[in-house]
Amino acid sequence: MTKQTQTKYLIRNWSEYNRALVNRGSLTFWFSEASIENWLAKCCTKRGRPRIYSDDAILCALMVKAVYRLPFRALRGFILSLVQLLHLALPVPCYSQICRRATELGQQIEKLGTKDPTDIVFDSSGLKVYGEGEWKVRQHGKSKGRTWRKIHLAVCPDSHEIVLSYLGENNEADCEVVPKMKDHLPRSIKRSYGDGAYDKEPCYREFHRAGINPIIPPQRGAVLHDLSKEPWMRDRNDAIRAITGLGNDDEARKIWKRLMGYHRRSLGETGFYRWKTIFGGEVKARKIPNQRGEIYAKSMALNKMTGPGMPKGEWVAV
């Protein structure tokens, strides 16, 4: 019996990645000409009171708030200081304006990434809204007022960009969110990766309509579907036949995942690790529209951070 070759994952661009991490903490601020030009809202011919600040100005303020974890009033003071130091003749929105406009930014699901990837990874995790810290729960038990929200991310496994983000209720299943996010995906998407939570008929149907090949492991004991009635289940049937042909055991599932490149799905969990490490595992807003605006701004800020550089590694034989 041949001995399996041992491998080790090595990062090949430590110097560039270290510089990118250092630049994340840089306090160098600048306002681009486009930001200055679009800071104020355009003239509107509709009835009602016109807006003073554009969506770009509100989004900029929310991203600064997310990165430095500032309350709304302190956020205005922070931006006022920046405007004064840069000698810009720009007004700064008050905390109530930023809070109100944040609800509008979270109402729509919009593409966040700047690239058109061919692969996408879906994953979800929980963010705390109300509740004590882990120490209090361990010492005295949990209280009744513990509330969570479920955040869903669509991550590009190549650039690590967050392409889409969506905040739903904590009882909203993953398969129910995919139809809401699918229509906003770039048309360049050809493959999608997800865990067993996405092994549901609605997910396969939506991916089939969009021409996307789903890489999702079927549940143990899964049976074949009638393609004459459900043609969108063809990819699932192929996965079941492949796993059955390989032995239909745990080792067969490992081989199937390796052949299909299913390991790329773990990059979605890596995205959540970066998210919670930088922004924490909670949301500050209390109303869902405001929470969605907060999630949108944090996703944009995280993409700004991953843009300068990410680690690049490869497997090498030991």
Answer yes or no: are the C-beta atoms of 110 and 184 closer than 8 Å.
Answer: yes
pLDDT tens figures, 145-171: 778 899 999 999 888 899 999 988 888
Q: Is residue 49 part of a domain?
A: yes
Q: Is residue 66 part of a domain?
A: yes
Residue predicted with more confidence, 308 or 79: 79
Task: Give the dihedral sign, CA 44/46/49/53.
Answer: negative
Answer yes or no: are the C-beta atoms of 219 and 195 closer than 8 Å.
Answer: no
**Whether 169 and 247 share a structural domain:** yes
What is the pTM for the complete model shown?
0.86
Name the percent of the chain lying above pLDDT 90.
29
What is the pLDDT, as a whole number, of residue 1? 45
Q: Is residue 78 part of a domain?
A: yes
- Is the per-residue pLDDT at 120 higher than 50? yes
- Is the per-residue pLDDT at 216 higher than 90? yes
**Whether 124 and 93 share a structural domain:** no
**Whether 47 and 78 share a structural domain:** yes
Q: Is residue 309 part of a domain?
A: no
Domain count, the chain: 2
**Whether 206 and 68 share a structural domain:** no
**Whether 124 and 207 share a structural domain:** yes
- Is the per-residue pLDDT at 312 higher than 70? yes
**Whether 84 and 196 share a structural domain:** no
Residue predicted with more confidence, 235 or 49: 235
- Is the per-residue pLDDT at 310 higher than 50? yes
Confidence class of residue 240 from pLDDT cuts 50, 70 and 90? very high
What is the pLDDT, as a whole number, of residue 65? 93
Q: Which spans in the chain are helix H?
A: 14-24, 33-37, 55-68, 72-85, 95-105, 134-140, 174-182, 201-210, 234-245, 250-260, 266-279, 288-306
- Is the per-residue pLDDT at 314 higher than 90? no
